[in-house]
Amino acid sequence: MMNYQIRLIFRNFRKNSSSFFINLIGLATGFACAILIFLWVADEMSVDKFHKTDKQLYQVLENQAMSQGILTQEYTPDLLARTLAAEFPEIKYAVAVSPARMFGNFTVSTDDNNLVKTAGQFAEPNFFKAFSYDLLQGNPEQVLSDNNAVVISRKLALSLFKTTENVIGKTFQWQIFSVKKNAVVSGIFEGTPANSTAQFDFVLSYSAWINLSEALGRNIHWGNHAPQTFLVLNEGVDVKKLNSEISDFIKTKQTGSNVSLFAVPYSHQYLHGNYSNGVESGGRIEYVRLFSLIAIFILLIAGINFINLATAKASKRFREIGVRKVVGSGRKALIVQFTGEAIILTFMAMVISILMVWFFMPQFNLITGKQLHLVLNAGFLLPIVGICLITGLLTGLYPALYLSGFNPLSILKGRPSRSSGEIWARKGLVVFQFGISVVLIASMIVVYRQVQFIHNKNLGYQKDHIIYFAKEGNIVPKLPTFMAEAKKIPGVANVSDISSSLVGNPSSTYGMNWEGKDPQANINFEVMRADVNLIETLNIELADGRSFSDKFSDENSKLIVNQAAIDVMGLKNPIGQIVSYNGQQKQIVGVVKNFHFQSLRQKVNPLTIIYDPNKTMTMMVKLKAGQEKQTIAELKSLYARFNPGFPFDYQFLDVAYQKLYEAEERVSALSKYFAGIGILISCLGLFGLAAYASEQRLKEIGIRKVNGAQITEVMVLLNSDFIKWVALSFAIATPIAWYIMNRWLESFAYRTTLSWWIFALSGVLALGIALLTVSWQSWKAATRNPVDALRNE
């Protein structure tokens, strides 16, 4: 019986191969999307959850009260972790970590040989107890308790020592900025997993951080915020209560502080990392929710299309059903047959979708920046089989009940009539699907235009042909010589140095004061430390005054601000005015036009540029266009003369600039795929409906043709019915698309315009695609010989 059923099912598939194929592809695409999104969501949810202490692991965040509102950030005073642990019994232990992202790459080596650039961080002794980075060698209780200790990853051990055997006790040399120190390897850990937010290759002891701070002239006190503070709480601690207790902790240590504290679960932060005015306001969880919703929608639409096509094709099978009933088939047998068909089709679609996922995985990883794998284990396959069965049952049951419910006589005589509710449901589906398509197309265009806008925006400086690299090793003491030598290279247009890489400036101060400032106001100024020639190297335009220059001896007492700063300060004639920068009196010598050193999401903030070549960390070199390769090679050999053995690790400024917009680029790429998939699935739905409609009207078409209707007239008749509904969906979708895109664009301070033609174009595209899809069916119906249609009656 089973065997017989299956054979029949396949014969049926072959007979209706076009509808079978459409159904299969539609479902498989839906499944493939859902699987990819499912894998992505599962990966997102797993980030930072692998720590065994996860339930007790908390991070302390700060709320700083500013004039502009409350700013939430994760950098805390160095003393916080140990003081909290000492004063609150709820805390099992605490760890201060100066995370890798505070530094550029370190240069590490074994005895001056084999220099490697890599990421590292500093942490207090409990680090490996609080976090579950697997220690291969060494005791988590004490690997970091020694002042000179360093724990390195297996990968780093292999590249430095070529082995992980007998590495404990060996010397490990590290340098950052101009500081060079030795440490002793005390342990080896497996490395950071891909689903860890923190990525680093070695961990130095916290005393090394204190030493580094001293060497860099950084003071450790309650007003200086740099490391992160992590807490492992005792089980059963009421975090709400603890938060109310630690809230004013810093204010008790430093009078006049505007900082309040609170602890959040560490693994909670990855998805819920955004704060607005001190209150949690989403984060990546929004993308997780959005994508989950999209996956459900895609599955839903694919499933409904499946049902639609199945019922649309039903009229072809009415006779079979009628005959079966007359020869004694019960309803149950018919339901089993049709549901069985649906389940088998669903499983075939699932197999195809897994192949699709496997095929598209590299591309998907590229777009999302993830390293997802398709692992066909029970944990993956069981839910998949479950989804198949459920989808098969749900999609098969409706047509089965629908088809088997008819009176056999009415089927054998002709076509049974349908209720108007059913017709409305079908039309509603067209409107719904094409509405989504229009939204997706419009979103795709808007996102693409915004990305283009970002690329082409005049930033107020020239980011092209500029490379930058760390000011490190011997370049630090011999900076003037290095700069002079570099300038001699024919392909170099200009050289300067700056505190950071310019893009996404990380340094700011509240310590700017000027005459007439409201003493209560806490106004944040971005700070850029620079050398001479910086403004020239970057081609930043001066609005007034001059830039820093060697010709003046006392540049340390001067500063340059941007126009946004002038606006905030409300100065009429800024040049020559004296302001106070962190207590030092400095004179404004120049005003630069606003330039975008931060993401275009933000308005240009007030900026002060101070002359301080001793605290710059990055070299910037402007190359002459056309001979970059040659020039970089020459710069590399110059660099090697100063820092023998150091890898020359440089970056292009325009590339770094683009990285600011990685998220937007991803959204742009993804939106293209989603628009494509949305349109594909909608078309399949429409295709099914058109097939259904022309099947329904077969007799009418036949009669019209017998009475002299031309093919074109029949096609207009069939098409106009659908176009009407697609047009309605356009009317509904346009305001929705406008609203969504307007909201998205509002997250950019600088943005492209939402022109009417974007929506018109989306509508025309959706309409064109719909017309093509429907016309195929209409053409088939219109060119059929009318006698065939009429003879069937």
Partner 1 sequence: MIHLNNIDKYYDSKFQRTFVLKAVNLEIKDGEFVSIMGPSGSGKSTLLNIIGLLDTPSAGEYSLYDKSVLDLKEKAKVDYHRNFMGFIFQAYHLIEEMTVYENIETPLIYKGVKSKDRQAMVADLLDRFNMVAKKDLFPQQLSGGQQQLVGIARAIIGKPKLLLADEPTGNLQSVQGEMIMETLKALNDEGMTIIQVTHNEKFAGYGKRIIRLEDGIVRKDVKNV
> Given the rule CB under 8 A, which residues bind partner 1?
1, 4, 8, 11-12, 15, 319-320, 322-331, 333, 407-409, 412
CB of 321 to partner 1, least distance (A): 10
At residue 461, the 3 state secondary structure works out as: coil
- Identify which of 614, 596, 617, 606 has the alpha carbon closest to the alpha carbon of residue 499: 617
Q: How far is the CB of 377 from partner 1 (least distance, A)?
A: 39
Cβ–Cβ under 8 Å, residues 204 and 174: yes
The distance of closest approach from Cβ of residue 315 to partner 1 in the complex, given in angstroms and rounded to an integer, is: 14
The rounded radius of gyration (Å) of the Cα atoms in the chain is 34
- With respect to partner 1, which residue has the nearer C-beta, 311 or 337? 337
Least gap, CB of 421 to partner 1 (angstroms): 24
d(CA 451, CA 161): 45
**Placement of tokens 């003071």 in the chain:** 219
For the bound state, the minimum distance from the C-beta of residue 349 to partner 1, rounded and expressed in Å, comes to 21
Residues 6+ apart with CB under 8 A from 633: none
Nearer to partner 1, 380 or 406 (CB): 406
Nearer residue to partner 1 within complex by CB, 408 or 416? 408
- Tokens 């007239």 belong to residue: 713
Closest separation between CB of residue 698 and partner 1, Å?
17
Within 10 angstroms of residue 633's Cβ, the number of other Cβ atoms is 13
Cβ proximity to partner 1, 55 vs 319, nearer residue: 319
Q: What's the closest the beta carbon of residue 390 comes to partner 1, in angstroms?
A: 28
Nearest-approach distance from CB 197 to partner 1, in angstroms:
58
- What is the token pair recorded at 184? 């002793």
Quote the least distance from Cβ 787 to partner 1, whole Å.
16
Structure tokens at 195: 């689903």
Kindly tell me which of 406 and 748 has the beta carbon lying closer to partner 1: 406
Q: In Å, how far are 526, 598, 655, 658 from 661, measured between CA atoms?
A: 20, 11, 10, 5
Q: Which residues contact 191 (CB under 8 A, 6 or more apart)?
A: 133, 153, 154, 155, 201
> φ, ψ for residue 628 (rounded to 5)?
-60, -45
Task: Kindly state the smallest distance separating residue 409's Cβ from partner 1, in Å.
Answer: 4
What is the DSSP pairing of strand 259-265 with strand 135-137? Answer: unpaired
Here the tokens at position 328 are 């004694």
Based on CB atoms, which residue is closest to partner 1, 319 or 478? 319
Nearest distance in Å: CB 689, partner 1: 25
Residue 62 gets the label, from left (phi > 0), alpha (psi -120 to 50) or beta, of beta
Residue 1 or 375: which CB sits closer to partner 1?
Answer: 1
Nearer to partner 1, 325 or 529 (CB): 325
Characterize the bridge pairing of strands 120-123 and 202-205.
Answer: parallel
- Pick the closer one to partner 1 by CB: 182 or 407: 407
Decide if 98 contacts 122 (C-beta within 8 A): yes
- 6 vs 772, beta carbon nearer partner 1: 6
Q: Do residues 151 and 144 lie in contact, with contact meaning Cβ atoms separated by under 8 Å?
A: yes
260 φ, ψ (degrees, to nearest 5): -120, 155
Alpha-carbon distance of 82 to 143, in angstroms, equals 18
* Residue that is written with structure tokens 């036949």 in the block: 702
DSSP 343: H
Nearer to partner 1, 408 or 545 (CB): 408
